[in-house]
Amino acid sequence: MAFREASLETKAAPARVWRVWSDVNTWPEWNPDMKESRLNGPLKLGVTGMINTKSGGKHDVVVTQFEDGKSFELESTAMPMTKMAIRATITPTASGTRIAQGFEARGLLAPVVAPMMAGTILGTFNSVLQGLAKKAESGV
């Protein structure tokens, strides 16, 4: 399967966006879909945690990709025989930062699950990215 993503540009500097986005424990402050989120340590490869979203419920997560200041990926079990990966990417631009959030279904049922969940998942990404941009631009 391939990642499907939403993106937007913000005038906030990449380092500022990274500080906000990489602080998983504060996501509910600016992410309108997030009820609760936590990592059991700093954001880095292999660390585990939990997210609880309004649209998808509560899931244990593990960081499966990490590039400091640029990107990270959280993977969770969406349903039996299927994992869901959420990737966050930060790319510097001439006027600020391009922020992107994508998802990919993985596993035996991925070809069935991905098309079924795509609309729901992508539907939340625009408001998540807008909340991130607003928080990063506020400098708070």
Q: Domain containing 21: what range?
A: 4-138
Rounded CA-CA distance 12/15 in Å is 8
For 21-63, the pLDDT digits (tens) are 999 999 999 999 899 999 999 999 999 999 998 877 888 999 9
Q: Quote the mean pLDDT of the chain.
A: 89
Here the CATH number for the domain that contains residue 20 is 3.30.530.20
| Percent of the residues in the chain that have a pLDDT greater than 90, as a whole number | 62
3-class SS of residue 131: helix
Q: How many domains does the chain have?
A: 1
